[in-house]
């Protein structure tokens, strides 16, 4: 039986779960050592807890992709399996960029993975992936593939914004970047000015894009944007941004710093939010290197307007299958 809003998989941050057409659930996440990309699979969502974990790729010994292997996501698009992840360079540890792996076969757990290299901007785009950039996610809408990612801009105070573009190929954008969201509110500016970790859920003609804000301690929280699926998603005016976080720390439930989520569904078709959080507010050392961020699950509810509700009270309401 699934347990909600409690550790589901310990010490796995930035979780990503895919319910695939082959009947398996696949799980990947950042590991505390930040040294590679892991994968689990199970016939059931609950089974991911004790499923065997394997490394499908290890960091390089030096140079690019040799440190800070962060936030992998497993996606099936353009007819194949791909993993998007961020990585740095031991000689320049904050030189973080998004990279792409491609599975050489149809079985992401058993087949070999190969590097496609860094994610590439289109020829007309002089700015994408030129500075600290990470947390790339992809989604399909009306037959087009889109990428959303976080990238820092500015000198002095670095601000992490969210950008969106259409994709031409698994490792290349088709259009220039469009600024989607910037840290506008105080709850997005604790410690650092951050919007990162985007994830997409489609439901009843709407696209909901959640993201994480502030530093990775107890102030870390989840914000949300939304748009009509028929609108021009590359027009910032198509998107509405919530003024308040949709999920934040709650001492009553021992949830601190929830964020970097994704969406899947259980065997009954209920919408499930997969996220990481800490179980205590005290953090030893730098929050980024503290391993106690755990993968958790939440059943998503829907209000009378069809909007998602992220409640830590697992007894409230029920999920409803999203349009994915």
Q: Which residues form the catalytic set?
A: 14, 196
Q: Are 230 and 191 in contact (CB under 8 A)?
A: no
Between CA 316 and CA 319 the distance in angstroms is 10
For 223, residues 6+ apart whose C-beta sits below 8 A from its C-beta are 181, 187, 188, 195, 210, 211, 212, 213, 241, 242, 245, 246
Between CA 175 and CA 269 the distance in angstroms is 34
Q: Are 132 and 94 in contact (CB under 8 A)?
A: yes
**For residue 88, which of 113, 120, 63, 122 has the smallest C-alpha distance?**
63
For 59, residues 6+ apart whose C-beta sits below 8 A from its C-beta are 34, 35, 36, 65, 66, 67, 69, 87
Residue 61, both tokens? 């010994």
Q: Would residue 168 be called left, alpha or beta, if left means φ above 0 and alpha means ψ between -120 and 50 degrees?
A: alpha
Q: Are 292 and 279 in contact (CB under 8 A)?
A: yes
Between CA 286 and CA 307 the distance in angstroms is 36
Between CA 9 and CA 172 the distance in angstroms is 33
**For residue 293, which of 202, 184, 217, 195 has the smallest C-alpha distance?**
217
Rg, Å, the chain Cα set:
18
Between CA 218 and CA 258 the distance in angstroms is 8
């Amino acid at each position: 039986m699934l347990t909600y809003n409690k550790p589901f998989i310990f010490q796995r941050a930035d979780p990503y779960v895919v319910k695939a057409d082959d009947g398996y659930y696949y799980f990947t996440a950042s590991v505390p050592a930040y040294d590679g990309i892991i994968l689990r699979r199970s016939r059931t969502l609950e089974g991911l807890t004790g499923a065997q974990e394997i490394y499908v790729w290890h960091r390089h010994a030096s140079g690019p992709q040799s440190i800070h292997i962060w936030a992998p996501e497993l996606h099936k698009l353009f007819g194949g399996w791909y993993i998007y992840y961020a990585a740095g360079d031991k000689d320049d540890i904050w030189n973080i960029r998004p990279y792409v792996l491609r599975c050489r076969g149809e079985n992401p757990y058993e087949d070999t993975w190969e590097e496609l290299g860094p994610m590439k901007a289109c020829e007309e785009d002089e700015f994408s992936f030129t500075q600290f950039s990470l947390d790339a996610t992809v989604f399909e809408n009306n037959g087009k593939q889109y990428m959303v990612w976080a990238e820092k801009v500015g000198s002095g105070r670095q601000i992490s914004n969210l950008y969106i573009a259409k994709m031409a190929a698994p490792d290349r954008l088709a259009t220039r970047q469009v600024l989607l969201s910037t840290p506008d509110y105080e709850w997005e500016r604790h410690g650092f000015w951050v919007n990162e970790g985007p994830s997409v859920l489609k439901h009843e003609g709407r696209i909901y894009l959640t993201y994480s804000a502030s530093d990775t301690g107890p102030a870390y929280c989840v914000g949300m944007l939304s748009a009509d699926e028929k609108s021009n998603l590359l027009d910032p005016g198509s998107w509405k941004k919530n003024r308040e976080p949709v999920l934040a720390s709650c001492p009553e439930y021992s949830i601190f710093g929830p964020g970097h989520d994704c969406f899947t569904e259980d065997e009954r078709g209920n919408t499930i939010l997969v996220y990481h959080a800490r179980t205590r507010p005290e953090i030893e050392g730098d929050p980024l290197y503290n391993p106690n961020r755990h993968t958790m699950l939440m059943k998503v509810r829907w209000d009378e307007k069809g909007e998602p509700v992220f409640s830590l009270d697992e007894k409230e309401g029920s999920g409803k299958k999203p349009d994915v």
